[in-house]
Amino acid sequence: MAVYTEVTDEELTAFVAEYEIGEPLSCKGIAEGIENSNYLLAAEGGTYILTLYEKRVNGADLPFFLGLMEHLGARGVPCPTPLKGRDGQMLRTLCGRPAAIVTFLDGMWPRRITPEHCARLGEAMARMHLAGLDFHLGRANALSVDGWRPLLDASAARAEEVRPGLAEDLEAELDDLESRWPAGLPSGVIHADLFPDNVFFLADHLSGIIDFYFACSDFFAYDLAICLNAWCFETDGSFNITKARRMLTAYRKVRDFSADELDALPLLARGSAMRFLLTRLYDWLNTPPGALVTPKDPLEYMKKLEFHRGVQGPGAYGLD
């Protein structure tokens, strides 16, 4: 269960009193999520999400994250909107942690992903990218290509524990990615973590995008590459070209791709696979027994990386 900081009744009552949402009625920990402590908060004024930001989140980034959600919500993107307290502030302190209350979104994330889910995601992602074009804050992507070498260095000595030859393979892959990483592609604010558990649906209607705590300024096509990896592979490791085609086609109906973006997509997909492989590898090797969060298998993303290595162009993703 991903609740790292417990909140007493007295602390909760005093915190909620800073908002105009009435008295708290209940506050239950939410098991999903790995970065922060999240609670489902019921108050007289409605249902909300209370988040305490733990040590893995840089407090200096919180104005960007909260401001972005407020900005996107005002432009019709279905995302949580931070509440302002009586003093007009969105961010305050609870139990010694930075904390905020955001609106609650109806819906559930899809356990069985369909091509229709992928299409709705593509459309919503494009609208999110366009809505963020006039957001006045920026944040560098600390987990893009410049951040992968330190992650590999931190895990290389023990990578053989996961798979023989893994460190050598990743070293060669990273050398190639660093030498060929594109520049000058269309950019703006991206989500950078649009996994299925961060997207809510009511039936086939996309009702919400959540968890913006990896959002940053980067290539729009890199966000798409992350989603190709997160949404378009089946549990047996095979790539579903129908899901990819539906996602990318729906996206380009709202915001079309440049020729450079299309050309770069296979390389960006390799980079996305490398990013999540390396963070999973580090957690796999360094998460202590008995931790609240179970680390995810890094080799899932090694298989995805190997698929993208064989891709010659966007046709492998269902595009002309």
Give the DSSP letter string of 31-64.
---SSSEEEEEEETTEEEEEEE--TTS-GGGHHH
What pLDDT is stored for residue 290 in this prediction? 65
What pLDDT is stored for residue 62 in this prediction? 96
What pLDDT is stored for residue 33 in this prediction? 59
What pLDDT is stored for residue 292 in this prediction? 65
Average pLDDT on 64-75 reads 97
Written as six digits, the tokens of 102 are: 């955001």
Residue 58: pLDDT above 90?
no
Do 306 and 266 form a contact (C-beta atoms < 8 A)? no
Domain boundaries, the chain: 9-103, 115-317
Residue 59: pLDDT above 90?
no
What pLDDT is stored for residue 204 in this prediction? 83
Calpha distance 94→36 (Å, rounded): 13
Q: Which long-range contacts (CB under 8 A, 24 or more apart) does 256-261 make?
A: 257/221, 258/185, 258/186, 260/182, 260/184, 260/185, 261/185, 261/186, 261/219, 261/220, 261/221
Residue 320: pLDDT above 80?
no
The pLDDT tens digits of the residues spanning 100-158 come to: 999 999 999 999 999 999 999 999 999 999 999 999 999 999 999 999 999 999 999 99
Interior CA angle at 210 toward 238 and 96, to 5°? Answer: 125
The domain made up of 115-317 has a fold known as: Aminoglycoside 3'-phosphotransferase; Chain: A, domain 2 (3.90.1200)
What pLDDT is stored for residue 1 in this prediction? 40
The pLDDT tens digits of the residues spanning 205-237 come to: 999 999 999 999 999 999 999 999 999 999 999
- Residues forming a β-bridge with 50: 39, 101
Confidence grade of residue 31 (pLDDT, cut at 50, 70, 90):
confident
Calpha distance 312→144 (Å, rounded): 22
Calpha distance 201→29 (Å, rounded): 22
Written as six digits, the tokens of 79 are: 């995302």
Looking at the domain that runs over 9-103, which CATH code has it been given?
3.30.200.20
Confidence grade of residue 34 (pLDDT, cut at 50, 70, 90):
low
Among 273, 197, 261, CA closest to 228? 273
Average pLDDT on 7-33 reads 92
Q: Which range among 34-38, 83-87, 103-107, 176-180 shows the weakest confidence by mean pLDDT?
A: 34-38
What pLDDT is stored for residue 134 in this prediction? 97
Percent of the chain predicted with pLDDT > 70: 97
